Structure 1
């Protein structure tokens, strides 16, 4: 009787060395191109994605296929190493996003946010589903059902990206404006709906389209949310506050990462995406208070400076812009970009207009909510991993993420220039400036 399995062979030295070369090269180039993009007023994610485009099949694989094959060989163990590194990065990135979701502010302005968000989600989602049903068969992944593909495309068309929206508002100095705050809150609602929708579509892709399966998926989702609110919240808050009593800040960081990984594993085991658990973990950790959040600043720095750039560079590696040479793919790309942009803008505009906002305020909301950036890239990566998207459709979705993130700032700046400052906004602006000046007088600490 065999009582123990033999030892697992260690990873080969060449595979490990190549993995380190891949990560180092991707991080170096992503950092440089991210900073270059920021200097030109573009989101850093544009430069980070460009890293993968330059080193991937779009350029290096096309110009120097031999070098590309040596750097990124098509072997399972090598691909899985890089993918695992990226998955750790993405769950921590989504958790950091959850840390910054002000649920109290969402509660206070939930009514206005929902009125803006709902049409802004429903209209592009419906258009995306319709486009998915009409898509040429050649662009569907082998073995992927038309219904799942259409639902996935609908999710990709309707999401917004809080990190890009927040950065855009900060860069344009619009966070103190009422419309700026409404954009941020509505984007938060969109983000949450998008993660939930992605998890449901993922479950559909993995368990199939059966009535019993859909009921089980919905019940599992509701059970997870209830457990997180009733059990997870006090447990996470207690664990984080207890860890904060230690003089060693590493204890707090380690506790937070364990919670993120545990909830990510839980949602993955339930048939949803790990990012749903990561987002939930971030929101629950936030309830532990400002002292705990202050201790987690190094985690945010590491994620944003190291893990996130490598993840987005890896996402760019999977793009193949040469696919756009096919007239069918190029036409679909243009049509989906129009659907994504017009659908989101019109939906948010209608929601804002019917809520009593002025025409230019509605334009500002439509422009602000159109930025998809980080979230759409993650959605595209999930679709590729599940076999729902082909390389061609994946490339199209990522291009939409980049294009909409670039369109948003100029339109938002134009619209906000035609909206007068209110007395409340002037007071908020003066308070913000006072805080900034106070912070500027603090001595610089070197670590």
Structure 2
């Protein structure tokens, strides 16, 4: 890089961090997840304002590839953290209610999304229509697990029964969505070398049967608890990056490798180690991830949306909200959850946040979305995330009442008084 390019890069990173942190803080002040403000920062720095003059000046073409590299590193570490946060115990908890809510929260929005895809096809040039239909179904089915976990904590719902069901349901939904997205990526993302995707199954087997035991032996020696430290953190971080590189080499997206490595990091006896890895990696993503929002925002142009675009946006929002909320509510009611608890769970599952943005970025990369449709889907991701807080307040979802010494109070959280 030339000296001038380096200067622009440093200036861009400073602007991105200031905008993302500033708008993220403002979002928190109005009881919204910070990710809402950070995504809006990316949109505001993109071509929507001043017909692209601002984004072209701040982010010249010769600097954008470097920013994209930084963004990809940030999103890979984010997906590693998502895998690290998923607990098998969380996914298995709460039995019938979780299964019913998860099926409703996955199947109904997916079917609605497939119908939406057929409605959108005539207005967009899509190179692979069948894959596009599946992709849209997955895109409206996803829930932002990390954002959901933070909303539960902020609302005092994390230790309630409905909070546990929400986490278990979101974990199941996201694993299904990521698995489906991996299939979509494999079908068209191998660049003509589809044979490389065949390496995925032996790679998964090696990660689970070889790498995971080796990690456990090194990170959790003997019968004691794993002690955190910079060397162990470096080993885990290097492993996540190598895994990301491996899946990228197979024609898959690098986020799948990072996510997988997060899943295989030992749980038992490694609470302190995982907390240390999570904190250290979290500091890195706090700096790198806002770059992803801006790189994503550079593709969002709402300036020429027009009447037809507004109609499509309305349809996308209607399908996304009704499918997700209705499907989750129906599944929860089938499991005999009280109406308010079912509505609380449905509102929480409608949270999409950064997870949706990652999926949309892959769709754009694979040519499944054009810029216009990508822009509309990003708006949907922001709107559905913003809706969560007001919906919870409207429903009356709240944390547990003071402990009365019985389990009945906790079971009634979110239910009608």
Tell whether the structures are fold-level matches, with TM greater than 0.5.
yes
Secondary structure of the 1:321 match is coil
TM-score where L is the length of structure 2: 0.88
Q: 1:183 deviation in Å?
A: 0.7
What is residue 289 of structure 2 aligned with on the other side?
A: 308
Q: 1:308 deviation in Å?
A: 1.9
Cα distance in 2 for residues equivalent to 1:206 and 1:301:
29
Cα distance in 2 for residues equivalent to 1:12 and 1:74:
14
Give yes or no for the alignment of 1:126 onto 2:116.
Answer: no
> Equivalent of 1:150, from 117, 123, 133?
133
Cα distance in 2 for residues equivalent to 1:30 and 1:356:
42
Give yes or no for the alignment of 1:264 onto 2:251.
Answer: no
What is residue 181 of structure 1 aligned with on the other side?
A: 164
Aligned-pair RMSD on alpha carbons?
A: 2.9
Give yes or no for the alignment of 1:390 onto 2:377.
Answer: no
Cα distance in 2 for residues equivalent to 1:73 and 1:180:
45
What is residue 378 of structure 1 aligned with on the other side?
A: 358
> Equivalent of 1:322, from 285, 288, 303?
303
Q: 1:370 deviation in Å?
A: 0.6
Q: 1:117 deviation in Å?
A: 1.0
Which structure has the larger Rg over C-alpha atoms? 1
Cα distance in 1 for residues equivalent to 2:249 and 2:367:
19
Cα distance in 2 for residues equivalent to 1:239 and 1:61:
54
CA shift in 2, pair 1:234/1:318, >3 Å: same
Mapped contact 1:127–1:339 kept (Cα < 8 A): yes
Give yes or no for the alignment of 1:240 onto 2:225.
Answer: no
Q: 1:29 deviation in Å?
A: 1.2
Cα distance in 1 for residues equivalent to 2:99 and 2:253:
24
What is residue 102 of structure 2 aligned with on the other side?
A: 117
Q: Higher mean Cα deviation, 14-23 or 392-401? A: 14-23
Cα distance in 2 for residues equivalent to 1:177 and 1:349:
18
Mapped contact 2:142–2:173 kept (Cα < 8 A): yes
Cα distance in 2 for residues equivalent to 1:231 and 1:112:
35
Structure 1 unaligned spans of 5+: 1-10, 430-447
> Equivalent of 1:41, from 24, 31, 45?
31
Cα distance in 1 for residues equivalent to 2:42 and 2:17:
10
Structure 2 unaligned spans of 5+: 413-417
Mapped contact 1:51–1:313 kept (Cα < 8 A): yes
Alignment of 1:421-436 (within 5 A): 423-424=406-407
Cα distance in 2 for residues equivalent to 1:420 and 1:156:
33
Cα distance in 2 for residues equivalent to 1:139 and 1:426:
52
What is residue 338 of structure 2 aligned with on the other side?
A: 358
Q: Deviations over 1:328-386 (max 9, x none)?
A: 22111110111011001111111111112122221111111110111101111111122
Cα distance in 2 for residues equivalent to 1:105 and 1:136:
38
Cα distance in 2 for residues equivalent to 1:427 and 1:420:
6
> Equivalent of 1:194, from 177, 182, 204?
177
What is residue 312 of structure 2 aligned with on the other side?
A: 332
Secondary structure of the 1:322 match is coil
What is residue 415 of structure 2 aligned with on the other side?
A: none
What is residue 393 of structure 2 aligned with on the other side?
A: 413
Mapped contact 1:348–1:365 kept (Cα < 8 A): yes
CA shift in 2, pair 1:427/1:146, >3 Å: closer
Q: Deviations over 1:401-427 (max 9, x none)?
A: 111111122222333549996932757
What is residue 229 of structure 1 aligned with on the other side?
A: 208
What is residue 149 of structure 2 aligned with on the other side?
A: 166
CA shift in 2, pair 1:236/1:419, >3 Å: closer
What is residue 69 of structure 1 aligned with on the other side?
A: 56
CA shift in 2, pair 1:237/1:425, >3 Å: farther
What is residue 25 of structure 1 aligned with on the other side?
A: 15
CA shift in 2, pair 1:416/1:102, >3 Å: farther
